[in-house]
Amino acid sequence: MKEFLENLEIGEGKVKLSAEEVKSILAKNGEMVNTEVAKKEEALNKEIDNYKNQIVNLEKQIETAPNSKELDDLKNELQKMKDAETERIAKEKEAKDDEILTNNIKSAFGDKKFVNEYTEKSLINEIKKLLKEDTTKTKSAKDFFEELTKDKEGIFVNPNTVEIPPTGDINNTSSREAHERELMGLNTKEK
């Protein structure tokens, strides 16, 4: 660059720069170059520091990350929770389906009244079992109900029950004894 400035001719008169001017220009140019280099170095140093900080942070994360046994334990615990939730949902669905089936079976009973709750529940369970076993699905709950109760006694309440009138508050033993004592001429016992 020095050689360029020394050979440089300026203007129409082709004036050359003096040695002092060349030296001054070179000094100024050096300062500008140094300033730009310093800016670049500062930017690069900031970038390097940023990367160093990221490395330190990542190393800390690696140190605080659970070891493989802890990670496996967490995965197992998560799987147990998922399995328990799946099982709960399945049981809930099964209970709801069972309730719907029970209501459908009860509607097949119509207005029939059972002699007791035990008989009703036994019949419901037997119909459920038959419905599950019926692979052809040709029979309904009503069909199984009629089949199971046809010509059977002791299942339903008899609509023609005979009402026995109450005998009242008379104690037959004491009134007969009083009558016999009277016949014998004895005083009646007083209570």
Specify the amino acid at residue 48.
Answer: I
Q: Which helix (DSSP H) or strand (DSSP E) does residue 145 occupy?
A: helix 141-149
The pLDDT of residue 19 is 86
- Mention every residue, 6+ apart, whose C-beta is less than 8 A from residue 147: 139
Confidence band (pLDDT; 50, 70, 90) for 91? very high
Q: What is the mean pLDDT of residues 96-113?
A: 86
Specify the amino acid at residue 49.
Answer: D
The pLDDT of residue 158 is 77
Percentage of the chain with pLDDT > 90?
Answer: 9
Q: Are 145 and 127 in contact (CB under 8 A)?
A: yes
- Could you tell me the two tokens for 94? 């099964």
pLDDT tens per residue, range 126-172 = 988 988 887 777 888 888 888 888 888 888 887 777 677 666 665 56
Rounded to the nearest 10 degrees, the angle between the axes of helix 141-149 and helix 68-109 is 60
The pTM is what?
Answer: 0.45
pLDDT tens per residue, range 51-71 = 888 888 887 877 777 677 877
pLDDT tens per residue, range 8-55 = 888 888 888 888 888 888 888 888 988 988 899 999 889 888 888 888
- Mention every residue, 6+ apart, whose C-beta is less than 8 A from residue 136: none
Q: Which residue has the tokens 């009134």?
A: 175
The pLDDT of residue 21 is 86
The pLDDT of residue 16 is 84
The pLDDT of residue 171 is 58
39-63 burial string, b = 16+ CB within 10 Å, else e?
A: eeeeeeeeeeeeeeeeeeeeeeeee
Q: Is 94's pLDDT higher than 80?
A: yes
CA distance 122 to 105: 12
